[in-house]
Amino acid sequence: MVEQELRDKYEVVIGLEVHAQLKTKTKIFASDRNEFGQEPNSLTSPITLGMPGVLPVLNKECVNMGILLGLALNCEIPSRCKFDRKQYFYPDLPKGYQISQYDEPICVNGHIDINGKRIGITRAHLEEDAGKLVHAGADGIADSTYSLVDLNRAGTPLLEIVSEPDMRSAEEARNYMEELRNIVRYIGVCDGNLEEGSMRCDANISIMPKGSKEFGTRAEIKNVNSFSALQRAIEYEIDRQIEIVEEGGEVVQETRLWDDNSRETRSMRGKEDAHDYRYFPEPDLMPLEISREWVQRIKDTMPELPAQKRARYQSLGLSEYDANVIVEQMGLALFFDKVLELGANPKTAVNFIMGEIAAYLKENHLEITDTKLTPENLAELISLIEKNTISNNIGKQILIEDMITNGEKASAIVERKGLSQISDEGAIKELVQKVVDAHPAEVEAYKNGKTNLLGFFVGQVMKETKGRANPKSVNEILRSIIG
């Protein structure tokens, strides 16, 4: 660990390269299904296997998704882009090259704003994923001394999103990555699952003396598969580089692997330069012309983006914190939107969603869509509370006891269990009088100044009515009788 004082001498520079697997039905250049978790090598055609003589055919849906993501990241979509071959040898890459985009990518010059700070997006390009090596001992192949190749993932469409070196701390990098994840999920191009590897991140990190304009040499960190690991890896790497520089050494440009168990980065290989890959235009694919009409058609399908959602929620009276929390959980946010569309009071709805519902989901490890609760039923429940048909507490009770588990309508439960609120003044007066008569000692104490006994009396009335009495009327009537 490096002392804070030492850290303060340096400025940190971070740029991220994020790979997002696109949620298409089929692969980017072949008709094999694009699915996770299938029998190894069951999703492989001659194209995916890199057989001689086969030709790639571009999946149009990948281009649609690339344009959509580019627009969401405020990028320009050039009217022409092309594909290139990036050559390298690895057992999970049967062709001996990856089809990618080099100097003419599908998206350029974008940005996103994170907490008021603009992070530039240099480019985003389409490419194919490689297969996967399953090493000795992993994935249930205990004690094996060999590695297996699974090519199901080969040819999965990827968008690689390259940021400008605009981030200045591990926390900023994490916030940027989280927002990117939100964006790809909300626009529906990627499921953003870091653990399954459908979204992956390489972090480029360098340090320079504070005030310097010249960036230091960067190291690239791979193998981070959670947001917290990303933050830890960057923090570790910053300290490692500071120690090297403080001891008079030099940071070398290389690729390092993060090991989340030992919590350190290890050198993996020297960093290749672009010329090492012998890029050249892919001769089997035509350059792609993207008309402005095509871009417009995609623009017209753009759903509300996370930042817009947050702003809308805040304009409805939600706190910044609540708006953030709800947007982070897409299932809940989409549910909340439907409840709002049905005319429910936003504050009441958010109290239920962030309170009882979120707690229930967390405790039972469920998503909202795994439960029987529908937006219609929650909206109806809220309207019963607004109309004083039931109290807020009864509402919470039937929500958790009945609605989430059996999908019943609130009004039906209220009817069946006789839960409607007692608001009739005469009836409440009678109940209050009964409680007052039964507790003369407490009444005496109350009159002698122990005013916090009011809660006791309210509680007794509630107990009598199983929570059905209108608490506001009970309070008023109590005060008028004993006050």
Output the smallest distance, CB 122 to ligand ADP, in A: 6
206 binds ligand ADP (CB under 6 A): yes
Indicate which single residue of 15, 110, 155, 375 sits in contact with ligand ADP (rule: CB under 6 A). 15
- Segment 148 to 187, residues that bind ligand ADP, using CB under 6 A: 162-165
- Segment 16 to 55, residues that bind Mg ion, using CB under 5 A: 17
The tokens of 91 are what? 């057992």
- Segment 86 to 145, residues that bind ligand ADP, using CB under 6 A: none
Stretch of residues binding ligand ADP (CB under 6 A), selected from 49-57, 200-208, 296-304, 322-330: 200-208
Output the smallest distance, CB 334 to ligand ADP, in A: 31
Output the smallest distance, CB 211 to ligand ADP, in A: 16
218 binds ligand ADP (CB under 6 A): yes
Q: Judged by CB, which is closer to Mg ion: 17, or 442?
A: 17
Stretch of residues binding ligand ADP (CB under 6 A), selected from 171-179, 198-206, 304-312, 386-394: 198-206
215 binds ligand ADP (CB under 6 A): yes
* Nearest-CB residue for Mg ion: 17
17 binds ligand ADP (CB under 6 A): yes
Indicate which single residue of 98, 204, 348, 421 sits in contact with ligand ADP (rule: CB under 6 A). 204
Helix (H) or strand (E) holding 70: helix 60-72
Using CB under 5 A, count the residues that bind Mg ion: 1
Which residues in this chain contact ligand ADP in the complex, by CB under 6 A? 13-17, 162-165, 204-206, 215-216, 218, 220
What residues make contact with Mg ion under the rule CB under 5 A? 17
